[in-house]
Amino acid sequence: MRLTLNQEALLRRIVATNGGGASISDDRRTFLALHKKGLAHQKLGNAYAAVHTRAGLDWVRANPRVAQVAGQ
């Protein structure tokens, strides 16, 4: 599954929280794309935070970072 640089950066940021949830208030459109691909979903009780799915975690583990993403 191919992701844009923004999608990859957001997914890696979400996975890095280890279930704590990452803020998606500035990245709603990018989050929606990840959600449609089944890689992330909203954190229960917080509409502005996202957590990864098992598929999202597996994607990050299977795709080590090749290049430094801006802001990371």
* 39 within some domain: yes
Structural domains in the chain (count): 1
Q: Which tens digits make up the pLDDT trace of 48-64?
A: 999 999 999 999 999 98
* 70 within some domain: no
* 67 within some domain: no
Beta-carbon count within 10 A of 30 CB = 20
**Which CATH number does the domain housing residue 25 bear?**
1.10.10
* 49 within some domain: yes
Domain that holds residue 18: 5-62
* 15 within some domain: yes
Q: What is the mean pLDDT of each run of 10 residues along the chain (72 residues)?
A: 93 92 91 96 90 96 74 56
Q: Could you tell me the pTM of the whole model?
A: 0.85
* 29 within some domain: yes
Going from the C-alpha of 48 to that of each of 24, 26, 55, 66, 67, the distances in angstroms are: 5, 9, 21, 29, 28
